[in-house]
Structure 1
Amino acid sequence: MIIRQRLRRTAIALATATIVPLGLLATSTAADAATTTYKGRITEGVNARSAPTSASTKVGSYAKGATITIQCKVYGPAVSGNSLWYKVANGRWVSARYVANIGAAPRFCGDGKEYTGRVASSTALAVRSGPSTANAKVSSIPRGAQMSIVCKVDAQNVDGNRRWYQLTGDGGGQWVSARYVTNVGAAPPYC
């Protein structure tokens, strides 16, 4: 009887010791996902941009063969058929068209949540393929309608506001100027 009680206590102690660390491991893994970095190799010389669009300011370049550290990716204007843009560890952006992933492909930017905004313009709001009025208009959202937002970047200034919001959607890139959006609840994080 005493041996059974000791075995039962030992089994409970071991089960508890095993469960607690696994729970902590799962929590830290989810938190670490947002700070994980990825590697890529430049396949041909590429310009680095201040925002995920060729219409933004050139802020540097990378030579063929250079290894870069990537934080995350967003959809934007397609470059030779590739609509992904990588945010490099220094905050610059490069078209994924010119990067070969080393290991896992980068995660999408944002914190995995959707944020809500409402069109605050007097007319329908243009949805663009990238964060600039130089990028193609891909659709529009009616005045007063709500939209789901993933994250934001600072890009082209529109009437005193440099923020652009990336919307949830397909791989063609969907961006709107924050100048014409009112947040409903919390503001989205930076991409």
Structure 2
Amino acid sequence: MIIRRHIRQIALAIGTAAVIPLGLMAAAGPAHASHAPYEGKVTASTGLNVRSAPTGYASKVGSLKRGTTVRIQCKVFGPSVAGNSLWYKLGNGNWATARYIANVGSAPRFCGDGKEYTGKVVSRTSLNVRSGPHGANAKVSSAPRGHSLELVCKVNGQRVDGNPRWYQLVGDGGGQWVSARYVSNVGSAPPYC
């Protein structure tokens, strides 16, 4: 686990670009001019659904036709789609499964700022860890009350008791997400993915 964490930290540190999409609105937030933008081409034969969060349970906010070139900001692990558990944050801040986007040039970096953040489970019972930022995503494990979690970044997903934020956990290749409603930050909160 320690070796995987160091590899992930190196991968997160390699790129920190936020990019502007082709044919889509620009993403909110600063762009880092020192990194080239990432691009991908839609390969889905019937088009690709674009979602508000990195899960098929998030609301559909648009679609992209086959052959469309898109700008990609970064990637996260989430629910697997046809064997691929990566999700791309597009240049406009929305999400699409990486399963149906072919990279043009280098693959995008992982989301987050390369730092790990800590949260403490504050739920009355164990907190479900899910494959994506929605309660309908598969439960992959649980964390007991009082347990410390290593956090990467956050997204707005399904509201849980009024709180829409979900934290991505430091993981080893699969989606691991928890509702921020039941996590207390120890120090700074993680950035948005």
Judge same fold: TM > 0.5, yes or no: yes
Quick check: 1:34–1:111 contact (8 Å CA) kept in 2? no
Give the TM-score, by structure 1 length.
0.83
| Mapped partners of 1:40, 1:32: distance in 2 | 17
Task: For residues 90-129 of structure 1, give each alpha carbon's deviation from its aligned partner in whole angstroms, at most 9, with x where no partner exists.
Answer: 0110000000000000000000000000000010100000
Larger radius of gyration: 1
The runs of 5 or more residues in structure 2 that have no matched partner are 1-12, 19-34
SS at structure 2 position matched to 1:127 = strand
- What amino acid sits opposite 1:98 in the alignment? Y
Quick check: 2:118–2:186 contact (8 Å CA) kept in 1? yes
State the match for 1:139 in structure 2.
141
State the match for 1:33 in structure 2.
16
1:31 shift after superposition: 9.9
SS at structure 2 position matched to 1:179 = helix
Quick check: 2:15–2:109 contact (8 Å CA) kept in 1? no
- Identity, in percent, stands at 67
State the match for 2:124 in structure 1.
122
| Mapped partners of 1:186, 1:33: distance in 2 | 19
State the match for 1:74 in structure 2.
76
- Bigger helix fraction: 1
State the match for 1:15 in structure 2.
none
1:32 shift after superposition: 7.2
| Mapped partners of 2:16, 2:158: distance in 1 | 29
With over 3 angstroms needed to count, the CA separation of the structure-2 counterparts of 1:82 and 1:31, relative to structure 1, is: closer
Count matched residues.
162
| Mapped partners of 1:56, 1:159: distance in 2 | 17
Provide runs of 4+ in structure 1 moved above 4 Å: none
Task: For residues 149-175 of structure 1, give each alpha carbon's deviation from its aligned partner in whole angstroms, at most 9, with x where no partner exists.
Answer: 000000100000000000001222000
| Mapped partners of 1:106, 1:31: distance in 2 | 10
| Mapped partners of 2:15, 2:170: distance in 1 | 23
* Higher relative contact order (Cα pairs below 8 Å, separated by 6+ residues): 2
Task: For residues 47-95 of structure 1, give each alpha carbon's deviation from its aligned partner in whole angstroms, at most 9, with x where no partner exists.
Answer: 0000000000000000000000000000000000000000000011000
| Mapped partners of 1:99, 1:54: distance in 2 | 15
Task: For residues 116-145 of structure 1, give each alpha carbon's deviation from its aligned partner in whole angstroms, at most 9, with x where no partner exists.
Answer: 000000101000000000100000011101
| Mapped partners of 1:50, 1:34: distance in 2 | 20
The runs of 5 or more residues in structure 1 that have no matched partner are 1-29
